[in-house]
């Protein structure tokens, strides 16, 4: 139930108001002075406060200021004396939602409370969304406790307080965008825009229009002016993903922004000035791209003032288990499989895999396994076949070629043994081979 607090020392009026408001379905609290009003606010957190001006221990107009400072999402409506407009005006300056004349405007009170309540509920929702975004854009979101990831986090934390351009390098799925968001979210620009663009998703001309914008009439189809992403990100951060894919002549324009903070829109003659922090990312070897004349050396030196390399998942194997468990918990909650158990072989197989797609691939594999799994426990069988295979090979201590019959036989026997929960007599019966043969194969394949 939504809550309203009435602060008024005139008992009769307060009780009358309380009755009226209760009849509208609100939970009503009452206080007779500033001190008990603030105390009730703290305990019951009402969304709306209806407050008299003259109170025994203070003035309602000043109280508005205090309430808004301590409880910014609460909306206050001031009850002013007849004809005292200056009080109402000052209350609004102090942050009140509105004011109303006591006694005269009784029929306006309920609609006003209802509007103030709507605003207070929006304030609450906004605060919770902001908290969610803050969490998303924070370093606490970056999982892993290996030395390599900790070093990368430490560097990123240091650079986040500055305006220096950052170049994030690392394979696909290693978290370059997650790092860019955290650097932005922890820096002085955190409450300004974070604009991301993947340079590989556009042709050269489209990318130029997207990033720098254009003037109406610049080319056929340019009917009106278009703001580019640099303007959208003004005072905030732009994240240029896959920077290695940017066309050579566009790179010159980017270099100019880095050097002067200015660029010229397509079809424009005057430069536009912006104040944008640039974070770029690549999974290419830019030094190699420079030698092949695909990337400008001067731009590289400008961008790579502060370079952070994000380690591949296979180079920080010690993180795989904890990341996997967190992902199982998160996806498990979403897929209503909160209490699912995890077989140790499942985790071992994850640790043995090469993870060319890094955390993105791990996320996808975990989500898929949870969807596929029909039992109470995640087992090897719930993993994609290539992960199962590499696990079998790893535990056999040798590499089988893709076409080797032995590899398939090993995998099949292992699965049947898992199915019979290690019961060899039952496994031999299902495989239609003798028990001694099964023992020999278990020995041979090191199962
Ligand atoms: N350290 C991490 N902790 C938790 N989640 C992570 C981490 N790194 C990456 N992820 C998750 O992995 C996925 C891929 O991350 P992200 O898009 O940041 O990678 P990327 O390196 O930018 O990839 P690409 O080069 O393909 O753009 C996202 O779902 C992200 O939430």
DSSP for 195-254, written as a single string:
EEEEGGGS-HHHHHHHHHEE-TTSSTT--S-EE-HHHHTTTSEEEEETGGGS-HHHHHHH
Q: What is the mean pLDDT of residues 197-217?
A: 90
For the chain, give the mean pLDDT: 90
- Summarize pLDDT for 284-302 with one digit per residue, the tens: 999 999 999 999 999 999 9
Give, as one character, the DSSP assignment of residue 432: T
Does residue 131 have a pLDDT over 90? no
* pLDDT band for position 402 (cuts 50, 70, 90): low
ipTM summary value: 0.96
Does residue 401 have a pLDDT over 90? no
CATH code for residues 142-311: 3.40.50.300
Does residue 69 have a pLDDT over 90? yes
Place of tokens 């975990």: 366
- Summarize pLDDT for 333-373 with one digit per residue, the tens: 998 888 899 988 899 999 989 999 999 999 999 999 999 99
Instruction: Give the model's pLDDT for residue 388.
Output: 81
Ligand 1 centroid to 355 CA: how many Å? 13
Cβ atoms of residues 216 and 225 within 8 Å: yes
Ligand 1 centroid to 19 CA: how many Å? 55
Place of tokens 């829109």: 265
Q: How many CA atoms lie within 13 A of 192 on its CB side?
A: 17
Which residues on neighbouring strands pair with residue 378, listed in sequence order? 342
Given 3-state DSSP classes, what are the helix, strand and coil percentages for the chain, each rounded to the nearest 5? Answer: 55, 15, 30
Q: What is the mean pLDDT of residues 394-402?
A: 60
Residues 6+ apart with CB under 8 A from 265: 212, 213, 214, 215, 218, 228, 272
Q: Measure the CA–CA gap between 287 and 300, rounded to whole angstroms.
A: 8
Domain 3-134: give its CATH architecture. Answer: 3-Layer(aba) Sandwich (3.40)
Give, as one character, the DSSP assignment of residue 262: E
Q: Measure the CA–CA gap between 92 and 96, rounded to whole angstroms.
A: 4
- Summarize pLDDT for 227-236 with one digit per residue, the tens: 999 999 999 9
Residues 6+ apart with CB under 8 A from 149: 142, 310, 311, 316, 319
Of 416, 380, 378, the C-alpha closest to 395 is 380
Instruction: Give the model's pLDDT for residue 403.
Output: 64
Which of 359, 362, 364 is the pocket-test mutation for ligand 1 (most atoms within 8 Å of CB)? 359
Which of 139, 173, 364, 365 is the pocket-test mutation for ligand 1 (most atoms within 8 Å of CB)? 173
Regarding pTM above 0.90, the answer is no
* pLDDT band for position 112 (cuts 50, 70, 90): very high
Instruction: Give the model's pLDDT for residue 158.
Output: 96
Ligand 1 centroid to 363 CA: how many Å? 9
Ligand 1 centroid to 168 CA: how many Å? 12
Does residue 84 have a pLDDT over 80? no
Token pair of 401, please? 């070629």
Nearest atom in ligand 1 to 177's CA: 18
Does residue 250 have a pLDDT over 70? yes
Query: What residue spans define the domains of the chain?
Result: 3-134, 142-311
Instruction: Give the model's pLDDT for residue 446.
Output: 75
Q: What is the mean pLDDT of residues 39-62?
A: 94
Place of tokens 């994240």: 239
Nearest atom in ligand 1 to 168's CA: 21
Token pair of 211, please? 């990033």
Cβ atoms of residues 377 and 341 within 8 Å: yes
Ligand 1 centroid to 248 CA: how many Å? 27
Does residue 392 have a pLDDT over 70? no
Of 72, 48, 51, the C-alpha closest to 62 is 51
Ligand 1 centroid to 173 CA: how many Å? 5
Instruction: Give the model's pLDDT for residue 414.
Output: 82
Q: What is the mean pLDDT of residues 36-49?
A: 95
CA angle, 343 then 389 then 414, to 5°: 60
Residue nearest to atom 10 of ligand 1 (CA): 175
Instruction: Give the model's pLDDT for residue 40.
Output: 95
* pLDDT band for position 445 (cuts 50, 70, 90): confident
Residues with a CB atom less than 6 Å from ligand 1: 142-144, 170, 172-178, 241, 283, 359-360, 363
Q: What is the mean pLDDT of residues 18-30?
A: 95
Does residue 399 have a pLDDT over 70? no
Other Cβ atoms closer than 10 A to 320: 21
The Cα-based distances of 329 to 22, 313, 317, 383 in angstroms read 43, 19, 19, 17
51-55, 56-60, 411-415, range with the lowest pLDDT: 411-415
Q: What is the mean pLDDT of residues 305-322?
A: 95
Instruction: Give the model's pLDDT for residue 218.
Output: 79
């Amino acid at each position: 139930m939504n809550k309203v607090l009435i602060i008024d020392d005139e008992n009769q009026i307060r009780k009358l108001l309380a009755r009226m408001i209760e009849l509208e379905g609100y939970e009503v609290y009452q206080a007779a002075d500033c001190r008990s009003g603030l105390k009730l606010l703290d305990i019951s957190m009402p969304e709306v406060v209806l407050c008299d001006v003259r109170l025994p221990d203070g003035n309602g107009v000043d109280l508005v200021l205090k309430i808004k400072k301590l409880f910014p999402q609460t909306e206050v409506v001031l009850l002013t004396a007849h004809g005292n407009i200056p009080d109402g005006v000052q209350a609004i300056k102090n942050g009140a939602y509105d004011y109303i004349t006591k006694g005269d405007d009784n029929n306006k009170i309920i609609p006003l409370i209802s509007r103030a309540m709507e605003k207070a509920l929006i304030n609450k929702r906004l605060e919770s969304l902001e908290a969610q975004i803050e969490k998303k854009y924070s370093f606490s979101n970056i999982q892993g406790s290996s030395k390599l990831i900790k070093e990368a986090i430490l560097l990123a934390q240091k650079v986040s307080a500055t305006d220096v351009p950052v170049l994030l390098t690392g394979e696909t799925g290693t978290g370059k965008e997650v790092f860019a968001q955290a650097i932005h979210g922890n820096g002085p620009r955190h409450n300004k825009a974070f604009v991301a663009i993947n340079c590989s998703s556009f042709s050269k001309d489209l990318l130029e229009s997207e990033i720098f914008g254009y003037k109406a009439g610049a080319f056929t189809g340019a009917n009106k002016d278009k703001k580019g992403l640099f303007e959208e990100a003004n005072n905030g951060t732009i994240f240029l993903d896959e920077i290695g894919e940017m066309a050579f002549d566009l790179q010159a324009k980017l270099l100019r922004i880095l050097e002067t903070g200015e660029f010229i829109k397509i079809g424009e003659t005057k430069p536009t000035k912006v104040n944008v922090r640039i974070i770029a990312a690549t999974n290419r070897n830019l030094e190699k791209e420079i030698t092949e004349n695909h990337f400008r050396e001067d731009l590289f030196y400008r961008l790579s003032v502060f370079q952070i390399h994000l380690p591949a998942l296979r180079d920080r194997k010690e993180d795989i288990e904890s990341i996997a468990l967190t992902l199982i918990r998160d996806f498990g909650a979403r897929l209503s499989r909160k209490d699912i158990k995890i077989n140790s072989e499942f985790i071992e197989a994850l640790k043995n895999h090469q993870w060319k797609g890094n955390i993105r691939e791990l996320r996808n594999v975990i989500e898929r396994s949870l969807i596929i799994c029909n039992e109470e426990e995640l087992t090897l069988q719930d993993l994609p076949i290539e992960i199962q295979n590499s696990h079998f090979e790893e535990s056999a201590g040798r590499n089988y070629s893709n076409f080797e019959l032995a590899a398939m036989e090993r995998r099949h026997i292992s699965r049947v043994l898992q199915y019979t929960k290690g019961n060899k007599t039952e496994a031999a019966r299902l495989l239609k081979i003798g028990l001694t043969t099964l023992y020999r194969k278990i020995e041979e394949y090191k199962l």
